[in-house]
Structure formats: structure tokens, C-alpha cells
Chains A and B, each alone.
Chain A
Amino acid sequence: MSTVETATEIHPFNVSIPDERLSDLRRRITAAQWPTKELVEDSSQGVQLATMQELARYWGSDYDWRTTEARLNALPQFMTEIDGLDIHFIHVKSQHENALPLIITHGWPGSVLELLEVVGPLTDPTAHGGGAEDAFDLVLPSLPGYGFSGQPTELGWDPARVAQAWAELMNRLGYTRYVAQGGDQGASVTDAMARQAPDGLLGIHLNWLSAFPQEVGAALFGGLIPAGIFKRVVITVLGAQAKKKEPEALDALAALFRRGYFVEMPEHPQTIGYALTDTPVGLAAWMLDHDADSYEKISRAFVDDQPSGGLTRDRIVGNITLYWLTNTATSSARLYWEGFRTIFAAIASGEKPAELSLPVAFTVFPGEIFEAPRSWAEKVYPNLIYFNEADRGGHFAAWEEPQLFAEEMRAAFRSLRNAGS
């Protein structure tokens, strides 16, 4: 009895990193051993030396972790144990009555830091161009193995298990009607929440398509599907149709599955983990090499001192420093290993994902790795209540364009505010 009580307790949490950890980090940045310059004038060989050297110079001499720490500690943070793991989360209640509770899940290589600038517009809409009827109560958890949440030491923490933990978190906070949002890995978690449809979840918003229509799956994973001759022909025909209808989206998506981090982290997160854990400059380069659009923007922020929206040098380095100080490069990469293991097991067994009937809203940001076609979103989410193509922003939409992102949340969830009450 007392064990149960202890395990559902919610403790206030503050970030306070000892000085010696910060000086150790600066020492390692300054002592970086550099490779020679890439032989091309573009990023076709990866993150460029000039970008990394400017980032390292800024990181080692100008950047101050204490400002990032103060931004986190200015918000109410908590820790609670769910399913055997400490979960760190930010919880900001709106002053407006009838605010809609919203849980937003970050992705990789992100953290709760990418979501801090949406806290104001979402919880205090009247100060940010909205009305009281647009208010949200906000819950921003750190994924297991990320930031200040605990690192799983056992197998099985795939997006579906995180989704179950999030439902328990919302339940523990006393929310009986709420919505959920996610991009990147956060989209996989949020998609799983909607499929599990826990009591109280009214609907979700996504800015990343983590589930694909049958024909897209056939084009991407056709070779992995165990099938006889007849089914093999069907898969081939379906894949060809997908390619013909949406060639750009399919090519961009197929290219993602060949990208370095997207191959290595699902396959051998531990191996790359040694390098990322031991060298801050290596960790930073690995995190910058996520997608072409954000790399170009981040590179401009350092080399030309021209940030794109909220993707400033301070915020970029702050996020990398969070990964370093919490030593979560390896544990965060394992989420890919877990997620892919679940997906490939499902492909091998022929098991179809659970039906999803909850309302789903979707926003495409133009700089995203692939621009999800409306036709794909409609097939995967039969109850698609909202679909919009934003005019700016990329993979880190909430980070780069917080006001625009908040306006998308307001529009996407407006029709659900009075539902099911």
C-alpha cells in the first residue's frame, strides 16, 4: 500500500548542474581533435568543418549553461515514477478556466527545450494574439532516456510503452479530457496514444507522419514483407502506384531510411554511443546532421550569425549541452532501436496496426524531411479533422516558429474543446 503511494507521488524538480561538470565540458570542447576540412564546398560530405569550429568556439567560450538552466527552472518542473522509470515533465497550467490540457512530446535530437517558447502562446493566449477560449494547460514530458527522465535499463520502451506512460501521467495529473501532440519520435508516441485511445484522450495533432498507407509501406518495406508470389506481385504493384502518385514525398522518405543516423541508431545505438558520449564536438556534429533544412538553418546561425526564428546559437547549443550533461546520447538513440524492432516485428508477423478512430489533426511544415501528402494522412487517419500546410518552419516547428505552431494548435483543436463533455 505504502509502495503504491510512493510510486505515484509527484515531486517538484529543479535543474542544478555542478560547476565542475561544466568546466569538464569546456575542457573537452577546447581539447577537440579536428579532422581535416571536407573536400567539397557543400554539405554533401556531412556537417562542415567551418560550422563545427564556429559552434565549438561559441560553445567553449561564449555559451553559458546557467541561462538555459534558468529558463528551465523558471517553469514548474516535476518528477514522477511511471512503470518503474522516473519521468521528468514541465507542467504549466493556464490562468483561464476551461483550458484544454495538452501533452506535447518532443523528438530526437530534441528535448523539452525545443518546446519552451510555445509555453507562453499556449497557456497565456490573450498575451499572444489569441483569446481566452484558446487556452491550454500544458504538459511537456522528457521521453524515457532523454533529458532528465530516467534511462530504461530493460527492453521494451518503444513508443507504444511511452504512450501508455503518458496516459498514466495525464491520469495522475487528474486530467479526464485532454489532447496530445507530437512531431518526430513524439509523433510515434502520440500516434500510439491515439491507437490505444485511453479514457480522456479526445484527439491528437501531429507534425510528422509516422504511420504510412499500405502502398507507401509496400514501396518502403516491400522486400521485408514475407509473401508468396501472388502477394509479392500485389506489393510490387502497390509500391509502383505510390511512387507514381507522390514521387517527391516517397523519394524524400526513402532517402531518410538511408540517412546515417537513421541507419546506425536503429541498428547499433551502443556502438555510436561510445563516440557521442566521449566527445562533445562529435555529439554536436551527429545532432546537427539530422536533416538538410535544419542543418542549413543551424549552419547559418553559426557561420553567418543569421538564426532562423527560434533556432538561435544559444538554443541550439543549449539543447546539445542538455544531451551532454545528462549523458543521454546512447539512451536516446536506443528509442530508435526499440521502435524499429517493434515495426519490423509487426511487418514480419503481418500484424496490422490497431484501428484508429479518434480525431486527428495534421500540419505540414514546408522544411520538413518529407511533406506528407494529404492523401496519405487521410488514409492513415480516417477521422482527419484538420489538415494544413504552413507557410514556414521545418522539422523543429515549435522551436523555430513558436507563434505559428501555437496558432496551429489553436485551430487544430478548436472543434474538440467542447466534445465529449
Chain B
Amino acid sequence: MSSTAQTTTEIRTFTVSTPEDELADLRRRVAATRWPDRETDASQGVQLDTIQALAHYWARGYDWRKFEERFVALPHFITEIDGVDIHFIHVRSTHADALPLIVTHG
């Protein structure tokens, strides 16, 4: 009983390391995109030129490893709360009396 409770309140360090074949699969899927025809009016949603330029950059210009480097440079942790693994970044200030602030994305 108490050991379970100890396990679930544990805070473990965490890092990101994406296998190369997952990145290759993503690039392959982006490059193999099948496209619809051009919109007949700009108000019909995301425009073909925009999304094709994005896809082009995503498959050829973008480098996930650069992002991963920046990301793992921060202290990451995982802890289980209410049955779900919660990932968070926790950066302590070097200044005494820093105010703890939790920021939630959308």
C-alpha cells in the first residue's frame, strides 16, 4: 500500500530521443502528400500555396534534431498524477525568493 503510493508520487527525470526511422517516416509521409485542387475562393480555408510552402519546408528545411537539442537542454521530468503520466519542465531560478509560477499552454 505505502510502496504503491511512494511509486506514484515519484518524480523521474525525462529526456526526448526520437528514433531516426520515425523522422524518416514523417518526412516520407509529408513528401508523399496527395493534394486537393486549389481553393476556388480565399475564404474557403487554409490556402493551397500556404500549405504547400509549409509542407516543402517541413520535409526539406526543418530539422527536428535542432529542436530536440534546445528542448533537452532544459530539465524535464515525469510524474504520475491521478493515474496519468504528467510531463513538465522545471527550471529553478538562481535568485533566492523566486516566485514559483506554473504556466499552462493551450
Q: Chain A interface (Cβ within 8 Å of chain B)? A: 151-155, 267-274, 276-278, 327, 329-331, 334, 337
Contact = CB atoms under 8 A, between A and B. Distances in A.
A327 B44 contact: no
Given A153-B37, A270-B47, 9 more contacts: A155-B40, A268-B44, A270-B36, A274-B51, A276-B36, A278-B33, A330-B37, A334-B44, A337-B44
A236 B51 CA distance: 43
A39 B83 CA distance: 15
Contacts of A330: 36-37
A272 B45 contact: yes
Contacts of B37: 151, 153, 327, 330-331
B44 A270 contact: yes
Contacts of A268: 44-46
A331 B39 CA distance: 9
Contacts of B46: 268, 270-271, 274
Nearest to B28: A31
Main SS at interface, chain A: helix
Contacts of B48: 270
Nearest to B39: A270
Given A268-B46, A270-B46, A331 B41 contact: no
Contacts of B33: 274, 278
Given A274-B36, A278-B34, A327-B34, A155 B41 contact: yes
Listed residue (A151, A154, A271) with the most chain B CB atoms within 10 angstroms of its CB: A271
B40 A153 contact: yes
A400 to B, nearest CB: 30
Given A152-B40, A153-B40, A334-B40, A271 B45 contact: yes
Main SS at interface, chain B: loop
Listed residue (A151, A270, A329, A331) with the most chain B CB atoms within 10 angstroms of its CB: A270
B67 interface: no
Nearest to B41: A155
A242 to B, nearest CB: 31
Contact of B36 (A155, A267, A329): A329
A222 B80 CA distance: 50
B77 to A, nearest CB: 23
B35 A269 contact: no
Listed residue (A154, A272, A274) with the most chain B CB atoms within 10 angstroms of its CB: A274
A56 B40 CA distance: 32
Contacts of B44: 268-271, 334, 337
A278 B34 CA distance: 5
Contacts of A269: 44-45
Contacts of A273: 36, 45
B35 A277 contact: yes
B63 to A, nearest CB: 22
Nearest to B37: A151
Contacts of B41: 155, 337
Interface string B17-59: 0000000000000000111111111001111100100000000
Contacts of B51: 274
Nearest to B42: A270
Contacts of B34: 277-278, 327
B40 A277 contact: no
Contacts of A270: 36, 39, 44-48
Contacts of A154: 40
Contacts of A267: 45
Nearest to B44: A270
B36 A331 contact: yes
A330 B48 CA distance: 12
A199 B39 CA distance: 35
Contacts of B47: 270
B44 to A, nearest CB: 4
Contacts of A271: 44-46
Nearest to B55: A274
A154 B39 CA distance: 9
A151 to B, nearest CB: 6
Contacts of A334: 40, 44
Contacts of A151: 37
Contacts of B35: 274, 277-278
